[in-house]
């Protein structure tokens, strides 16, 4: 069975539609994909794109990554991790905000960084200049505001419950690639190749992004497919309702790093679907292993 067909079967058996792409970071040829050019809403995966623009600005001296920033709780984007769950004032540098956005998928930290680099329109412009077709329509704050208005829910927690309701088919524009921040699986692996190939951000600020992704706390998706201590999995998840994604770079010892993106939409809306999380790891393994190459 071809690797892409194997990945499709894994995802189908888990009850979800999938879009997959894998490539070596040093060479786009010989890649493996499952509908890799379809646009898909990417949820929190967008935080990698924001972090890349932050690294470019830091490299150019447009911002000081060490400058202390006073962050008040008023207006702080809600979410399940990091600054989003804190109630007091916090002082952090922007490079530590990037670390929180990538390691914990901290919504508040990511939105602070997005504001710092000039907002969604500028991020989209910078990405387009690098050849990446990712239109960032707003951060998590924007996505939540739109979704809450569409579902008639008063806050983030009730919006998440509405999306997970098995008794109602909840519709939101955040599932529509024409209206939400979206990208193809191929575009996302190209973004990762730029980061790991060090063509775009070769220095210390790129290292902040790469290092934070290697320290991501979530191990239930990509990492579940390569559960080996000597394999580095640098990833970023994205989750919203029926959307479950992870993109990342998998590096086996003494081998060329491989960028992979597995994007899914499940048939069931429950918040916890471990079978889909595991399928993301298994699908990634199916397309990554055939591409392994010694350095």
Predicted pLDDT at 200: 84
Predicted pLDDT at 203: 87
Show the tokens assigned to 227.
Answer: 């559960």
DSSP H/E element including 180 = none
Is 3-291 assigned to CATH 3.40.710.10? yes
Predicted pLDDT at 80: 94
Render pLDDT for 189-213 as a digit per residue (tens, 0 to 9): 999 999 998 778 888 999 999 999 9
Predicted pLDDT at 169: 87
Show the tokens assigned to 240.
Answer: 């919203």
Residue 39 in contact with residue 176, Cβ under 8 Å? no
Cα–Cα dist 242/244, whole Å: 6
Render pLDDT for 30-71 as a digit per residue (tens, 0 to 9): 899 999 999 999 999 999 999 999 999 999 999 999 999 999
What global pTM score does this model have?
Answer: 0.96
Q: DSSP secondary-structure letter at 153?
A: -
Cα–Cα dist 276/55, whole Å: 32
Residue 154 in contact with residue 172, Cβ under 8 Å? no
Cα–Cα dist 266/136, whole Å: 23
Length of the chain counted residue by residue: 295
Query: Which regions in the chain score pLDDT beneath 70?
Result: none
Predicted pLDDT at 36: 98
Predicted pLDDT at 202: 83
């Amino acid at each position: 069975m071809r690797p892409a067909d194997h990945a499709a079967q894994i995802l189908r058996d888990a009850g979800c539609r999938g879009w997959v792409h894998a490539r070596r970071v040093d060479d786009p040829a010989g890649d493996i994909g499952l509908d890799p050019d379809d646009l898909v809403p990417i949820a929190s995966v967008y935080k990698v794109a924001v972090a890349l623009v932050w690294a470019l600005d830091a490299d150019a001296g447009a911002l000081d990554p060490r400058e202390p920033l006073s962050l008040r709780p008023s207006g702080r984007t809600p979410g399940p991790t990091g600054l989003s769950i804190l109630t007091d004032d916090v002082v952090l540098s922007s490079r530590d905000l990037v670390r929180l956005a990538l390691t914990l998928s901290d919504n508040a930290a990511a939105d602070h960084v997005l504001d710092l680099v000039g907002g969604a329109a500028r991020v989209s412009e910078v990405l387009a200049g690098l050849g990446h077709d990712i239109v960032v329509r707003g951060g998590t704050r924007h996505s939540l505001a739109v979704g809450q208005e569409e579902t008639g829910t008063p806050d983030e927690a009730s919006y998440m419950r509405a999306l997970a309701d098995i008794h109602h088919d909840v519709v939101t524009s955040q599932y529509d690639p024409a209206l939400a921040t979206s990208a193809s699986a191929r575009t996302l692996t190209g973004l990762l190749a730029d980061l790991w190939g060090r063509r775009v951000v070769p220095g210390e600020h790129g290292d902040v992004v790469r290092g934070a992704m290697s320290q991501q706390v979530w191990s239930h998706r990509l990492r579940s497919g390569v559960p080996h201590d000597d394999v580095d999995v640098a990833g970023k998840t994205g989750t919203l309702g029926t959307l479950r994604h992870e993109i990342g770079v998998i590096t086996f010892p003494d081998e060329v790093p491989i960028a992979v993106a597995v994007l899914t939409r499940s048939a069931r809306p429950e918040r916890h679907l471990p079978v889909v999380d595991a399928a993301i790891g298994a699908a990634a393994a199916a397309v990554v292993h055939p591409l392994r190459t010694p350095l």
